[in-house]
């Protein structure tokens, strides 16, 4: 099946230059369906420098229209983003340089601007290109995509355009953007979705990812994200609803090779939550709810989806390290229980073991920190006692001891600062 999908794609691509425009479009639609069915390895194998060279050659020889070339490239960019594949050959290609030049030239036109072409160019350039985009291009791309993303038209075609525009924005990394360039529009998109539920789950996740990525360069966003737009509560609800819709019992092998869209969106929410806990310093009343949702996902993933299971550990580790989040919130959200349960499984993945150890080491460190405030100190002691009792009940100390010989291996392979002292992973009273 793997060979046939790659072969079918390549055969259709070779036929493009011998077709008229309408026939090309039909073949490109077939190619899109083939790409959708590919797993990561298959998809990587077709993303070659020769592919982008041939597309550019067909454009220059007028054997393919720019519209059809963009149709194919937008599909490649869309699925590369969902499959988390970097398209480095496009970044180095002449096609990338040509698109950048065309974007600038289109904006400079005083008359007869082709708005649809500009949007398509921006999406291709940002989806397939480098995260490190120059300020001049950013100031063009962001408003252009936000205009599409702000559409209220709920037809299937319009909503697909909105989804691609928001997905493109979400993949622009941590580049520094002026708040005036995006915050009003992004806030309106989020609040409209909260009232009307008009966006796809992927589109809604993407708009949040774009906003949370701005934390690294704009700390003033925190109040808007926490107190006005309520990210934590929204993330908790989305995680739980997505987890209900994921088929956790899918068989391994060929069926698992292609991730369902729900799985991809769920993982992206976990990644965005991880960025949030890594940077946000404002207290939030919904912390318990999001930990409950992450714990639910962590249990559901078990051994059926190690990728999602692993990504559950990242926001939990960051939350422990974040001094704004109380360990008691992790306890009430059942995150402690979920990680303890996972440590007992006989088929544990070695990377998840390492992440669980890192989590408990951080929990232990936090609970050793005494508070000057009398009330908070009493809460710390009570939390410490509850976690100690849970650890005793689960036989946690014996579990940790069984990993002692492998701690050195973990340090060599994954994390050079992981303590070799077993007591550092325990909570004692």
Is residue 209 within 8 A of residue 268, CB to CB? The reply is: yes
Average pLDDT over residues 37-43: 92
pLDDT the model gives residue 258: 58
Mean pLDDT, range 159-170, rounded to an integer: 95
CA dihedral over 348, 352, 355, 359, signed as positive or negative: negative
The larger pLDDT score, comparing residue 422 to residue 188, is at: 188
User: What are residue 150's phi and psi, to 5 degrees?
Assistant: -85, 0
pLDDT category at 72 given cuts 50, 70, 90 is very high
Contact assessment for residue 229 and residue 191, using Cβ atoms and an 8 Å cutoff: yes
| Pick from 36, 21, 107, 97: nearest CA to 66 | 21
Q: Which of 99-103, 131-135, 302-306, 410-414 has the highest mean pLDDT?
A: 99-103
Nearest-angstrom CA–CA distance, 75 and 186: 24
How many angstroms separate the CA atoms of 145 and 143, rounded?
6
Which residue has tokens 């060599």? 412
126-145 pLDDT, tens digit each: 999 866 666 778 889 999 99
| Rounded Cα distance, 429 and 426, in Å | 10
Name the nearest CA neighbour of 4 among 47, 48, 30, 38. 38
323 closest CA partner among 373, 279, 288: 279
Q: Name the pTM for this structure.
A: 0.92
Mean pLDDT of 273-290: 93
* Number of residues that this document lists for the chain: 429
Q: Between 85 and 406, where is the model more confident?
A: 85
Mean pLDDT across the stretch 247-266? 72
Higher pLDDT, residue 122 or 302: 122
What's the whole-number mean pLDDT along residues 280-286?
90
- 293 or 407, which is more confident: 293
Does the pLDDT at position 254 exceed 70? no
pLDDT score of 353 more than 90? no
pLDDT of 377 reads 94
CB of 328 closer than 8 Å to CB of 383: yes
Q: Is the pLDDT of residue 256 over 60?
A: no
Q: Span 230-429: which CATH code?
A: 1.25.10
User: Which segment of 47-56, 101-110, 314-323 scores lowest on mean pLDDT?
Assistant: 101-110
* pLDDT for the residue 12: 96
pLDDT at residue number 252: 55
- pLDDT given for residue 132 in this prediction: 64
Q: Round to whole Å and give the CA distance between 320 and 330.
A: 8
In whole angstroms, what is the distance from residue 54 CA to residue 424 CA?
57
pLDDT of 326 over the 60 cut? yes
Proportion of the chain above pLDDT 70, given as a percent: 94
Kindly state the average pLDDT of the residues 325-335. 96
d(Cα 301, Cα 405) in Å, to the nearest integer? Answer: 27
Q: What is the 3-state secondary structure (H, E, C) of 317-366?
A: HHHHHCCCCCHHHHHHCCHHHHHHHHHCCCCCCHHHHHHHHHHHHHHHHH
Burial 316-349 (b: 16+ CB within 10 A, else e): bbbbbebeebbbbbbbbbbbbbbbbebbeeeebe
Q: Which pair of tokens denotes residue 128?
A: 């397939």
Least confident piece of the model among 15-24, 56-65, 177-186, 257-266? 257-266
- The token pair that represents 82 in the structure block: 């969902």
Domain boundaries, the chain: 1-130, 230-429
What is the pLDDT, as a whole number, of residue 294? Answer: 98
Predicted local distance difference test score (pLDDT) of residue 113: 85
Residue 1 has pLDDT above 50, yes or no: no
Confidence at residue 52, expressed as pLDDT on a 0 to 100 scale: 96
Half-sphere exposure of 246 (CA within 13 A, CB side): 29
* Distance from C-alpha of 326 to C-alpha of 165, rounded to nearest angstrom: 37
pLDDT value of residue 131: 63
pLDDT the model gives residue 29: 96
Tokens coding 106: 């289109």
């Amino acid at each position: 099946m793997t060979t046939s999908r790659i072969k079918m794609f390549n055969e259709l691509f070779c036929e493009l230059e011998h077709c008229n425009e309408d026939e090309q479009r039909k073949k490109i639609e077939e190619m899109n369906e083939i790409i959708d069915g590919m797993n990561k390895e298959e998809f990587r194998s077709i993303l070659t420098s020769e592919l982008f060279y041939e597309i550019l050659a067909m454009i220059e020889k007028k054997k393919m229209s720019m519209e059809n070339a963009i149709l194919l490239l937008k599909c490649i960019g869309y699925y590369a983003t969902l499959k988390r594949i970097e398209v480095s050959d496009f970044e180095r290609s002449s096609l990338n340089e040509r698109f950048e030049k065309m974007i600038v030239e289109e904006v400079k036109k005083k008359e007869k601007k082709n708005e649809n072409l500009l949007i398509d160019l921006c999406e291709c350039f940002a989806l397939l290109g480098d995260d490190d985009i120059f300020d001049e291009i950013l100031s063009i791309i962001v408003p252009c995509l936000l205009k599409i993303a702000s559409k209220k038209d709920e037809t299937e075609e319009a909503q697909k355009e909105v989804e691609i525009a928001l997905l493109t924005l979400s993949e622009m990394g941590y580049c520094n953007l002026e708040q005036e360039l995006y915050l009003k529009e992004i806030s309106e998109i989020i609040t409209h979705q909260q009232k009307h539920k008009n966006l796809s789950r992927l589109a809604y996740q993407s708009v949040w990812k774009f906003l949370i990525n701005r934390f690294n360069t704009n700390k003033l966003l925190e109040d808007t994200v926490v107190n006005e737009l309520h990210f934590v509560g929204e993330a908790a609800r989305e995680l739980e609803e997505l987890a209900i819709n994921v088929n956790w019992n899918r068989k391994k092998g060929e069926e698992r090779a292609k991730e369902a869209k729900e799985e991809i969106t769920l993982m992206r929410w976990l990644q965005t939550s991880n960025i949030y806990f890594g940077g946000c310093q404002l207290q939030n009343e919904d912390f318990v709810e999001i930990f409950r949702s992450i714990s639910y996902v962590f249990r559901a993933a078990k051994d059926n989806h190690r990728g999602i299971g692993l990504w559950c550990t990242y926001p939990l580790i960051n939350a422990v390290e974040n001094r704004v989040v109380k360990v008691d919130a992790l306890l009430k959200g059942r995150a402690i229980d979920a990680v303890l349960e996972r440590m007992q499984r006989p088929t544990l993945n070695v990377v998840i073991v390492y992440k669980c150890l890192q989590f408990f080491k951080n929990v232990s460190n936090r609970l050793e920190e005494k508070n000057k405030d009398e009330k908070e100190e009493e809460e710390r002691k009570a939390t410490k006692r509850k976690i100690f009792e849970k650890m005793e009940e689960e036989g946690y100390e014996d579990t940790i001891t069984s990993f002692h010989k492998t701690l050195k291996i973990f340090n060599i392979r994954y994390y050079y600062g992981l303590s070799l002292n077993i007591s550092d992973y325990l909570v004692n009273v």
